[in-house]
Structure 1
Amino acid sequence: MARALVGRVGAWVVLGLALVVSGALFALVPSVEGDAFPSAGLPAETQSAQVQALLDEFPDADTSAALLVYERGGQELTADDEAAVAERADALAAESVAPQAVRPQLSEDRTAALVVVPVDGAEVEADLAGTADRFRTLAAEDLPEGLRSALTGPLGFSDDVSSAFAGADLRLLLVTVGVVAVLLIITYRSPLLWLVPLAVVGIADGLARVVVAPVAEAVGLPVDASISGILSVLVFGAGTNYALLLVARYREELTRQADRHQAMVTAVRSAGPAIAASGGTVALSLLTLLLASLQGNRALGLACALGVGIAMVFALLVLPAALVVCGRGLFWPLVPRVREEGTPARVGAWERLGRGVARRPVLVALAAVVGVGVLALGLGGYRVGLSQTEQLTGNPESVQAQQVLDRSFSAGLSGGVDVLVPSEDVPAATERVEAVDGVESVRPAAEHEGLTRLAVTTSAAPQSEQAFEVVRSLRAALAGDPGLSDALVGGSDATALDTLDAAEDDLRLVVPLILGVVALVLLVLLRSALAPVLLIASVLGTFFASLGAGTWLFTHLWDFPALDANVTLYAFLFLIALGVDYNIFLTSRAREERAVLGAREGMVAALGSTGGVITSAGILLAAVFAVLGVLPVVALTQIGVIVCLGVLLDTLVVRTLLVPALAFLTGEAFWWPSRRTAR
C-alpha cells in the first residue's frame, strides 16, 4: 500500500483524489448550525428531565425571565433613584408577556432594587443577544447619575454564556493555527517545510468541521460550540503530532536512501503502524463515550472520534504523497543528504540521555515516581461542582448582578426549583416543602391537566452546594410521604445536581472501558504482556499528577473553587489516550530496534531516534490544548490546563525517564512473551 501511495504516479493520484473528495464534501455537505452553548442532555429517567418534559406541556412553557438589578455601589437608593426604577419598570412592562407582574422590589437595606420581567421564551430563543440588549438599553435609560442597572437571571446568564462562545470557533482556529505554525517553524528550522503539514492538517480540520456536524445531527447528538472548540484543538494537536512523527522518520530515511520515494515507503511502513495505533487508541477511547448517560458526552465522543479518524487518514495517505511530490528541497536549508557508507552516525543528546538512564535505572525510576507522587498531592483540594456564578471568567454582568442579589435579596431568588405534584396534593406538598431547611417560600405557579407547579424560592445561591442540598432534602421529604410519592423535583438547580451525578456515573463507567481499549491496542501492537501494564501504570500516574497539579493551580492561582462536572472525565480521556501515543511511538521503535540490537540497546536507540520528535510533538500538543484558555469558560480553561500539564509531564518525564528506566530494569521480560528474532 505504501508503494502505491507514494510512487511517482501514485503520489499525484492520491493528492488529486484528496483534493477532489475534499472539495466535493466542502461543497455538497449541508451546513448545520450548532447550539450557541452546551445543554444539559440529561437521561430521561432523571427527575429534572421528567419535570422539564411535563412543564413543556404547560401553557406558560415558553416563558422565561429577565431580572434587572439596580444599585449604586452599596449605598442606599435615593428617592430619585426609586422614582427612576419605577419609571423603568413601566417601560419594561410594555415588553413583557405579563405586564401586570412587573413591579419594582426594594431590598430591606434599601441598597438595591429588583425588577422581574417575564419574557417570551420563543422570542428569546430566536434572538437571544438582541432581546438581552433591548432589555439592557430600556433598563438603563435616563437613570440618575451613579445609579447602575444590570441584567441577570435566565436571560442574563444565557446571553453571557452565549457571548462567551460567540466567535469561539474562529478565535480558537486562528490562535491554534498561529501556535502550530510557530512551533513547526522552530522544530523544522525551514521556511518551507512547515507549510505542508500545516496545510494538510488544516484541510483535515476543515473537513472534520463540515462532516461531523451533520453526522451528529443525524443521530440526534447535536454539536455545541464547546464541542466544536475541543474538536478543532484535538484535530490540530493529534494531526500535527502524526505529521511530526512521519516527517522525522522520512528525514531519517533520506539520509540512508537516494530515492525519496523509497525513503517514504520505508517511513510509512515503519511509522504507519505507530500512527494507526495511536489514532486508533484515541478514536476508540472517544467512542466509549457513546455509552455515557449525558448527551453532551456522547456528542463529544462521536464528534472527536470522527475528527481524529480524519486526521489520521490525512496523516497516513495525503501527507506522504504531498511530501514526496515536493522533493528534498522542501527541507531547505537543512536538506538531508545520503551519508556515505561507513560514516558513523552522530551520537545525539537523546541517545546520551538513554545511556545515562541505562546506567542508573533504579535511581531514575525512583526519582520520577517521587516527582509524580508529589504533584499528585494536590488532589487533597480536589472538589467538583461549580455554581452558576463560577462558570465564567472575567466577572460578566450577570455574575455581578447576581452578587448584588445575594447581598440584598434572597440568594436563591434567581435560582430555579420546581416541584410538580398532582393538583389535589398541593396543600400537603406545600406543607412538606415549607418544612425543609433552606426553603424560604412556596407558591403555586401554574396548573395543567391535573398537575400543579410549585415555585420554590430557597436561601441558597443558584447551583451551589447549598442549593443541591436543598434539592436532595426536598426529594427525600416528598419521597418519604406515601401520599406524595408521585411528586417530582426539577428546575435549574435540580438539573445542575442531576448533571453532576450523571457525570460521576459516566466517569465510573467510561474509565475502565478506556483502560481496556488502551490495553488491547498495546497488546496487539507490542505483542507483550508486561509492557502494556507498565505503560498504562505510567500514564495513570501522569493523570493523577496533572490533575493534582491542576487542582492546586486552580485553587491558589486562579481562585477556581472547584472543577466543572465533566473536567475529570475529559482530562482522563485525553491524557490516557494521547499520553499513550508517545509511549507507542517510543516502544514501537524500541521493538523494531530490539530485533537488531537487543532489548537494552534497542531502547537506547529508540530514545535517541524518537526523543527529539516526541518532545517537539508533546510541546506542540500541550500548547494547542492551552489555547482552550482563550475562551472565558472555566470548564474549557481547566481541561486545557490539566491536559497541557499532563502532556508536558508525560513527554519530558514519563516517556523520557520513567518508561526507559522500567524497560532497562525488566530487560527482555519487558517484551515477554514475545521472543526476539535477531536480524
Structure 2
Amino acid sequence: MAAVAVNSPPGHADPPPEGRKRPPGRRRIIPWAVLALWIAVLAAAVPLAGQLEDAQRDESVSYLPDSADSTRVVRLQEALPGGEATELLIVFSRDGGLTDADRRAAAERVAAIAGAHDPAGGAPRGVPSEDGGTELYPLTLTGLDEEEQAAAVEDVRALAAEGLPEGLTAQVGGPGALQYDQEEVFGSVDATLMLATVAVVAILLILTYRSPVLWLLPLLSVGVATVCAQAVVYALVQAFDLTVTTMAASVMTVLIFGAGTDYALLLVARYREELRRHPHPLDAMLRALRGCGPALLASSGTVAAGLICLLAADDNSASGLGPVGAVGILCSLLVMTTLLPALLVMCGRRVFWPLIPAHGSEPRAGRGWFGRMGASVSRRPVAILAGGVVLLGALSLGALALPGQLKSEDSFRDTPESVQAMERLTDAFPERNAQPILVMARDAAVPEVVAAAESTAGVADAEPARSGGGWTEIAVHATDPPESEGEEAAIEALRDRLAAVPGADAAVGGPTAQQMDLGETSRNDRMLVIPLVLGVVLLILIALLRGALAPAILLAAVVASWGAALGLAGLVFGPVLGLEGLDPSVPLLTFVFGVALGVDYGIFLMHRMREEALGGLPTRQAALTALRTTGGVIASAGLVLAATFTVLMTLPVVTLTEIGFVVAVGVLLDTFLVRTYIVTAASWLLGRRVWWPGPLSRRPEPAETSPAPAAGDGR
C-alpha cells in the first residue's frame, strides 16, 4: 500500500539529511523515551478511565433539549418534595378474563409492594378494564436517586410476580420501568461493543497486513487511545459537568477504533515506503511522519472541528457528543503519531514479516485495480461523472420512505417488560391512555388549570398528583394511546390552552411530550449545525488545498454520499430490519459523521494529487496517479471505518443501529464510488481549473506523457 502526501516530489527517494548522521545511541533512546512517557500517561489515565462508566447519564433529561417545555417539567419535578417521581404501572392480566381469586391475589401483591416502598398517596386502587381481562395499579414512588430507582423497579417486579395463581401474569411498565429497561440495555452495550470492535479491527488488520505480528501494534495503540480518551472525558465531566450518555461513549469508542486504525494504516503504508529508501527505521519513520503528517492533521482537524460544531445543538445528547467525539479523535491522532511510530521503530523491519521491505528494494510493480479504475475514468470521464451523480441522486430519493419518528416503545431491538406492559394496557384500555401527560402549574392556578385541561379536546381527565415549593404536578390522561397522533394533538392543544390561563406559568411534559420536543429540537438543530459544519469543513479544506473549487467538489461529494446513504436507509430500515421509526437525532449525527469522516478520504486523495502536480505532472495525470497510489490504503481504511460503525448495528438499541447503518454505508459509497470515480472524473474534466483560484490553476500545464507502469501496493 502506498501512503499519502510527501514533501519532496512523489516517486523520488529523499536525499540524506544534509550530510548529518544521527548518533546510534540517540536512535535507540528516542523510541524508548516515547514509550516510557506513554507508560506514565497510562498509569495516570487508567484509574480515571475506569470511572467514566459510572459518570454516564441515561436519565430522560440527559437526552432532552435544554429549552424544551418537557425539560422544564422534569426540572420542576426535581424541586418537589421527594424529587422527580418514579411512575410505575403494575398490570395484572389473564387471557380469558380475571377471576375473583386473581383480583384478590393482585390486591395482596400491591399491598405488599406498598408496605415495602411507601408510595405517594398510599396503596393504589385497581382500575379494571372493560373486557375484564386486565387490572391496572398506578404506583408513584418519590425520594429515590438513580440507584434506588433501579433497585425499586427490580423489587416491585419481584413482589408483583410472587406467588401468583397459575395463568395470572404481572408486568410492570410506566416511565420509571421504561427508564430502568433502557439503562439495563445501555449497561450491556459497553462490554459488547468493545469486544466486537476489537475483534472486527483485529481481523481486518490481519487480512490487510498478512503479518502475524504487525497487526498487534495498531490495535494496541488504539487501545491506549481509548483509555486516554476515557480519562480525559471523565476529567471534563468532573470539571465542567459535561453530559455524557452511553450513546456518546459508545460512538466515541467506534470513532477511536475506526479513525485511529485509519491513521495507523496510512502511517504504516508510508513508513513501509520510506524503509526502502532509508537504512535505519528511525530515519524512515521521521520521513514518513513529515510526509503524511499534514494530511493526518487536516483529517483529524476536520473531524474534530465538525464534532465541536455539535456544541451549538440544543439537544443535550447531541451537544454532549461533540466534545466527547472530538476528544476521541485527538487522542487517536496523538497516539498514532507518537506511540505507534515508537513501537514500529523498536520492532524494526522484521515486524513486516513475511513481506519485509528491504533497504534499496523496489515495490512490486503493476498497474493494479485502482490504476485500471483511473484508466476507465480517463476514457469516459463525462459518462462516469454523470452516471455517478445520477446514481447518488436516485439513491437519495429513498429518504422519502424513511419511517416516522421513533417511539419510546420501539427504541429496543428486543421488547422489554415495560414495553410489553404498555402494549397490554393500550389493548385493554382503548378509551383511556394509561400513561399520563404531566403538567406543572403554580399552586394558585391549579383549579383553573385542571378545568382548562379537562375541557381540551382529546383529554379524558386531569387531577392534581402532588405539590410542593409553590408548584403542583397534575396528571392528565389523553383519550388516545401513548405517542399516537391523537395524543400529540392533545398535547399541542393543551399547551395552547394552558398558556392562556393567567398566573399558571404551566409547562406540559411527560414521555410523549418529550418525544415531540426532541423531534422539534432536532429539526431546529439541523438548520443550525449543518451549515456550521459545512462552513468549518470548507475553510479547513481551502487552507489545505490552497483553492476553493476542489474543496467545494469534495464537500458536495460527501454530502451526496450522506444523502444516498440516508436514502438506502429508507429502503432498508422498515422492510428489511423491521425498524418502526427513525430517531430524530440520526439525520444530524450521521451528517456530521458522514461529512467529517468522509471528507478524510478526499483529503488524502486531493492532497496527494496536489503533491503530484507540484512535482511536475499535468493535473490529469496527477489525478490518476493519486488515485493509483492512494487507492489501496484508503480502501483498507474505508473498510475498517465502515466495519467499526457496522458493529453498532449488532447492539440492542435502535438509535445506534440506525447511526451505524447510515455512516457505514456512507463511508463505503464515498470510498468506492465518490472518491474513486466522481471526484477523479471531475478533476480530470476540470484539469488545472480544479485548483482555482490558487496559483496552481494559473501555472502552465506541462505536456502530458504516457503513464509508466505504476508501483503496486507498496509491499
Q: Same fold (TM over 0.5)?
A: yes
1:140 aligns with 2:158: no
Change (3 A) 1:477 1:586: same
Post-superposition offset of 1:79:
2.9
Whether contact under 8 Å (1:157, 1:398) holds in the other structure is yes
Change (3 A) 1:115 1:61: same
SS for the counterpart of 1:9 is helix
Give, as a single letter, the amino acid of the residue that structure 1 aligns with 2:625. A
1:63 aligns with 2:85: yes
Query: Could you say which structure has the greater relative contact order, defined with CA pairs below 8 angstroms and 6 or more residues apart?
Result: 2
1:87 aligns with 2:108: yes
Post-superposition offset of 1:62:
4.5
Whether contact under 8 Å (1:40, 1:499) holds in the other structure is no
SS for the counterpart of 1:94 is helix
- 2: distance between equivalents of 1:571 and 1:217? 28
- 1: distance between equivalents of 2:506 and 2:534? 40
Counterpart for residue 245 of structure 2: 224
1:493 aligns with 2:515: no
Change (3 A) 1:138 1:10: same
Give, as a single letter, the amino acid of the residue that structure 2 aligns with 1:10. I
- 1: distance between equivalents of 2:521 and 2:485? 16
1:552 aligns with 2:571: yes
Post-superposition offset of 1:8:
4.5
Counterpart for residue 357 of structure 1: 377
- 2: distance between equivalents of 1:561 and 1:358? 45
Whether contact under 8 Å (2:49, 2:230) holds in the other structure is no
535-544 vs 15-24, which moves further:
15-24
Give, as a single letter, the amino acid of the residue that structure 2 aligns with 1:138. L
Post-superposition offset of 1:337:
2.6
Counterpart for residue 408 of structure 1: 428
Change (3 A) 1:457 1:193: same
- 1: distance between equivalents of 2:452 and 2:149? 37
26-35 vs 90-99, which moves further:
26-35
Give, as a single letter, the amino acid of the residue that structure 2 aligns with 1:623. A
Post-superposition offset of 1:450:
4.5
Q: Aligned to 1:267, which of 288, 308, 332?
A: 288
Counterpart for residue 281 of structure 1: 302
Whether contact under 8 Å (1:129, 1:159) holds in the other structure is yes
Counterpart for residue 52 of structure 1: 74
- 2: distance between equivalents of 1:647 and 1:581? 10
1:347 aligns with 2:374: no
TM superposition score normalised by structure 2 = 0.89
User: What stretches of structure 1 move > 4 A for 4+ residues in a row?
Assistant: 2-8, 27-30, 41-45, 338-341, 676-679
Change (3 A) 1:651 1:487: same
SS for the counterpart of 2:91 is strand
Post-superposition offset of 1:31:
3.1
SS for the counterpart of 1:255 is helix
- 2: distance between equivalents of 1:307 and 1:152? 37
| Cα displacement string for residues 437-474 of structure 1 (whole angstroms, at most 9, x for unaligned residues) | 22111112233355433210112333444333221111
Q: Aligned to 2:412, which of 392, 396, 402?
A: 392
Post-superposition offset of 1:328:
0.9
SS for the counterpart of 2:214 is coil
178-187 vs 594-603, which moves further:
594-603
Change (3 A) 1:563 1:128: same
1:104 aligns with 2:126: yes
- 2: distance between equivalents of 1:297 and 1:497? 16
Counterpart for residue 237 of structure 1: 258
Whether contact under 8 Å (1:519, 1:536) holds in the other structure is yes
- 1: distance between equivalents of 2:406 and 2:535? 31
- 2: distance between equivalents of 1:71 and 1:395? 18
- 2: distance between equivalents of 1:276 and 1:532? 16
Counterpart for residue 210 of structure 2: 189
Change (3 A) 1:382 1:208: same
Post-superposition offset of 1:208:
0.7
Counterpart for residue 335 of structure 2: 314
Post-superposition offset of 1:207:
1.1
1:437 aligns with 2:425: no
Post-superposition offset of 1:620:
0.9
- 2: distance between equivalents of 1:532 and 1:38? 41
SS for the counterpart of 2:463 is strand
Counterpart for residue 586 of structure 2: 567
- 2: distance between equivalents of 1:469 and 1:166? 34
1:302 aligns with 2:323: yes
Whether contact under 8 Å (1:217, 1:223) holds in the other structure is no
Post-superposition offset of 1:410:
4.9
Counterpart for residue 271 of structure 2: 250
| Cα displacement string for residues 420-451 of structure 1 (whole angstroms, at most 9, x for unaligned residues) | 33444333333321222221111122333554
Whether contact under 8 Å (1:430, 1:442) holds in the other structure is yes
Counterpart for residue 681 of structure 2: 661
Counterpart for residue 562 of structure 2: 543
- 2: distance between equivalents of 1:449 and 1:575? 47
TM superposition score normalised by structure 1 = 0.94
Counterpart for residue 489 of structure 2: 469
- 2: distance between equivalents of 1:304 and 1:101? 47
Counterpart for residue 642 of structure 1: 662
285-294 vs 657-666, which moves further:
285-294
Post-superposition offset of 1:140:
1.1
Counterpart for residue 606 of structure 1: 626
Q: Aligned to 1:589, which of 599, 608, 623?
A: 608
Q: Percent identity?
A: 41
Give, as a single letter, the amino acid of the residue that structure 2 aligns with 1:49. T
1:525 aligns with 2:525: no
Aligned length: 674
Give, as a single letter, the amino acid of the residue that structure 1 aligns with 2:89. L
SS for the counterpart of 1:302 is helix
CA RMSD of aligned residues (A): 2.4
1:114 aligns with 2:131: no
- 2: distance between equivalents of 1:228 and 1:533? 32
129-138 vs 542-551, which moves further:
129-138
Change (3 A) 1:384 1:301: farther
Whether contact under 8 Å (1:278, 1:584) holds in the other structure is yes
Give, as a single letter, the amino acid of the residue that structure 2 aligns with 1:615. A
SS for the counterpart of 1:461 is coil
Give, as a single letter, the amino acid of the residue that structure 2 aligns with 1:105. V
Post-superposition offset of 1:69:
1.2
- 2: distance between equivalents of 1:102 and 1:588? 69
Whether contact under 8 Å (1:393, 1:632) holds in the other structure is yes
Change (3 A) 1:48 1:78: same
Change (3 A) 1:204 1:450: closer
SS for the counterpart of 1:447 is strand
| Cα displacement string for residues 184-212 of structure 1 (whole angstroms, at most 9, x for unaligned residues) | 00011111110111111110111111221
Change (3 A) 1:384 1:513: farther
Whether contact under 8 Å (1:30, 1:214) holds in the other structure is no
1:12 aligns with 2:12: no
- 1: distance between equivalents of 2:471 and 2:90? 31
- 1: distance between equivalents of 2:112 and 2:546? 74
Post-superposition offset of 1:12:
2.5
| Cα displacement string for residues 48-93 of structure 1 (whole angstroms, at most 9, x for unaligned residues) | 2333333333235353232121223x42223332232222222222
1:514 aligns with 2:533: yes
Post-superposition offset of 1:168:
1.9
Post-superposition offset of 1:156:
1.6
Counterpart for residue 388 of structure 2: 368
Give, as a single letter, the amino acid of the residue that structure 2 aligns with 1:50. R
464-473 vs 643-652, which moves further:
464-473
- 2: distance between equivalents of 1:503 and 1:28? 32
Post-superposition offset of 1:323:
1.3
Give, as a single letter, the amino acid of the residue that structure 2 aligns with 1:186. L
Post-superposition offset of 1:28:
6.9
- 1: distance between equivalents of 2:217 and 2:361? 29
Counterpart for residue 171 of structure 1: 192
- 2: distance between equivalents of 1:360 and 1:55? 66
- 1: distance between equivalents of 2:365 and 2:535? 40
